[in-house]
Structure 1
């Protein structure tokens, strides 16, 4: 294990390194042990949190480490511990940028609780290339965002590293950790919000309901709310898009304008809603005077639309923060039990649904 000295206490350094005032010298555990009057293995145990020495000895070693501001070489340490301190994050290219950035912000904030760890990302979804990517980097754990097949997850599971899935609704796999939102409830609350605003003809803007389980679950919430309030489900008011982006939202907005009876819109993704608002603002229908719209996700752009977009907050940042903490704690504690966490959702009401 290699350490670097960054200190102004030159006299202390000279006691065992014999370097000049302006020198910067690499030292080893043997050097620390010599200064502390203990064996190299004792220093290693203290650094790694193993209690195999007296409290006084431990305190003395830690005091020297703090005084000299030693910085352990993580690569060298990984050769001893067989851990890389690297977490992989895998996502698909079709993830909306604002969502992905907010989630990564949560992950990056959470990983600060574990200073030795770093995260690396990829959008590889081919099982062979993914296995090679993981093994070459000796990853300690991996997080998947979105819908990845159970077959692919099972193959990666054979590498014997902890796996956590965010927003993956395929069949449950034993010994896999899950973090997700209350998506069906979110679809229900969004629809109910418009119904309580006296909307009678509520359109649904969504991604593919057949290909994306996440959107399908939100759709089930929309459908249940209509049923509970005695409103007949109308297939002509469901507008699907294969792609989830701003331009696709504008296209859906064009289709929606052709039905003048629509007085409310539930968009199952904020980025679609933002595109819809852009298109509707060109029509005589005014938001929210003539038509209301609510989105889903609470991405940062919701506050910058005209009018500002009401939405379902699914706790994107919290998903990232909790996911990385769960995974690293499992690695550190060698915990084999699977963990499942559901992130609460809530309505954020802004101008687009305020009459």
Structure 2
């Protein structure tokens, strides 16, 4: 087996000290001559030397690693990458981080394990957290004293930076769109409505629009479950039993897609029999038939923005809390009918 090239081998080849090699590798070349730098780089290339990242991390006190925490569907279940929303979000994070020389470590969070332990052991430079978690989780993370950016979180703590959209407004404009099309019996398909969570904000926006149009709120039109394709399929059965509902606002596109799939298989015509509007504008919404009218947010941009924000924190370009709110808008396709 071929012996791995070490920093000593490079120093010998370039006829310089090990410290000089370390300076070049870690971009601390201020006191080195151009000729020395070129000689070191030539030796690195000739020997195909790959620096030990763990050693570099110890020397620079930076790991160039970002932690990314993604929600789990349920306790002790898989993280939610089966929802295309998360894939698009992670894509924005990974590519932006890679361009800046960073890599990501992605995980869910077990209730009985400390993410603080993970962040310390991995020497993470920063953490991006998607979704809402118990307050104890945030209290623990503050002990890490590393930059943290919350995404889609309404944790009102001055320690954390945040990237989000106005979810309540999104729920409002989605419902208002249906109301303006003449619908009055509007169902809401949503994730579990938890205090200060994204689903609660979109639910409140739904109620805001109903109140503005003087349409009574009917709790029997609200269907709560897990935000996934399977719940969209199953909730369709309940909606089909309620003959009064003419339109549905699904608070996530993945719910809307499951709902539409089951409705169509039961010969329910969309939008002729039931109109559907979603939320997110995930990539596949433009390809399903009919195309899904939805509230568009730039999911990739959300991930990209989170990385840029946390890197500014790591590089000390930010000294105070920053909150970034990204825009949203309605994208009209073919899933809503005017009545």
TM-score (norm 1): 0.81
Larger radius of gyration: 1
Q: Hey, what does 2:76 align to over in structure 1?
A: none
**1:111 matched to 2:97:** yes
**Per the alignment, do residues 289 and 163 of structure 1 end up closer, same or farther by CA in structure 2, a change over 3 Å counting?**
same
Structure 1 unaligned residues grouped into runs of 5+: 1-22
**Per the alignment, do residues 283 and 30 of structure 1 end up closer, same or farther by CA in structure 2, a change over 3 Å counting?**
closer
Q: Hey, what does 2:193 align to over in structure 1?
A: 209
Residue aligned with 2:114, SS: helix
- Residues 261-312 of structure 1 show CA distances to partners (whole Å, capped at 9, x for unaligned) of 3222111111221222123224564211232110112223423433221111
Report how many residues are paired: 329
Task: Measure, in 2, the Cα distance between the counterparts of 1:336 and 1:282.
Answer: 55
Task: Measure, in 2, the Cα distance between the counterparts of 1:126 and 1:149.
Answer: 10
Q: Hey, what does 1:136 align to over in structure 2?
A: 121
Structure 2 unaligned residues grouped into runs of 5+: 74-79
Q: Hey, what does 1:187 align to over in structure 2?
A: 171
Contact 1:202–1:263 under 8 Å retained in 2: yes
Which residue of 292, 304, 313 corresponds with 1:321? Answer: 304
Contact 1:175–1:336 under 8 Å retained in 2: no
Residue aligned with 1:72, SS: coil
Contact 1:252–1:276 under 8 Å retained in 2: yes
Residue aligned with 2:158, SS: coil
The Cα shift of 1:149 comes to 2.2
Alpha-carbon RMSD across the aligned residues, in angstroms, is 2.9
Q: Hey, what does 1:53 align to over in structure 2?
A: 31
Residue aligned with 2:300, SS: helix
The Cα shift of 1:213 comes to 1.7
Contact 1:92–1:125 under 8 Å retained in 2: no
Q: Structure 2 matches for 1:1-355, cutoff 5 A? A: 26-28=5-7, 31=10, 35=14, 41=19, 44-50=22-28, 52-53=30-31, 56=34, 60=38, 64=42, 68=46, 71-94=50-73, 95=80, 97-115=83-101, 117-126=102-111, 128-170=113-155, 172-210=156-194, 213-228=197-212, 230-236=213-219, 238-283=221-266, 285-333=268-316, 335-353=318-336
Task: Measure, in 2, the Cα distance between the counterparts of 1:238 and 1:153.
Answer: 34
